[in-house]
Amino acid sequence: MDYGCEGSGGVEMMFVRKSMFTAFLIGVAATGVGLGLKAAVGVGAWDAFSQAASSAAGIRVGTFSMMMNLSCVLVQLAILRKEFKLISLLQIPMAILLGFFVNVVYYDILSHVNIDSYLINLLIYIGSLVVVIMAVALIMSISFLSFPLEAACMAVASKTKVRFGTVRQLVDVSAIFGAVLIAVLWQKPMTVREGTVIGMLLFGPSLAWLIPRVQPLVKKLGLTGEDVS
């Protein structure tokens, strides 16, 4: 019996399963992002900058987000060089899928939806935040791919010896500053609002709380097998 082939087949099957599950969760996360954008009460720092910059540039927000995430992959390549894992190139289709689905949800599916109630929009935003947190927690739990931004921050942290959390916070601060600057200079709607503050307060702690609680589900789905990297 050829155990080597059997083992290889198992790794390949796990790779396919994790890829499909991750692609599904990217669609879920994009739905959450699209709902948050539609609520128009402010979004996370990274999305706030993407929304402000895309408005100033006259392109779709998902497309700009796609470009930003692809630039994060380039940052990893430039910093890590030979240490860059080949499987991390899957962040490229990940970025493209995320941007594509955000465009579909925000500009197509929700294009004719208008809600005038501030309270309902705030509840929609909180619901969208829950959806994104759940999707990100599940993606992180299968230990397959990191989002390009987080992976780029980890690369910077590894080379500069600065803590990952500090690097990530600096990115958020820079994104908020950039979003506000664009809104002022280009006279665009302010994307940094109360939702941005809510997201900054809830996202990290909620993610840390949820990850160990979704790991049993990931294990039950059989997505904690061989390391495909």
In a domain, 2, yes or no: no
Q: Are 115 and 121 in contact (CB under 8 A)?
A: yes
In a domain, 169, yes or no: yes
In a domain, 163, yes or no: yes
In a domain, 14, yes or no: yes
In a domain, 150, yes or no: yes
The Cα 13–Cα 11 span in angstroms is: 5
How do the pLDDT tens digits run along the chain, 229 residues long? 444 444 556 788 888 899 999 999 999 999 999 999 999 999 999 999 999 999 999 999 999 999 999 999 999 999 999 999 999 999 999 999 999 999 999 999 999 999 999 999 999 999 999 999 999 999 988 888 889 999 999 999 999 999 888 898 899 999 999 999 999 999 999 999 999 999 888 888 898 899 899 999 999 988 875 554 4
In a domain, 19, yes or no: yes
Q: Are 53 and 182 in contact (CB under 8 A)?
A: yes
In a domain, 1, yes or no: no
Q: How many structural domains comprise the chain?
A: 1
Q: Could you tell me the residue range of the domain that residue 195 belongs to? A: 9-220
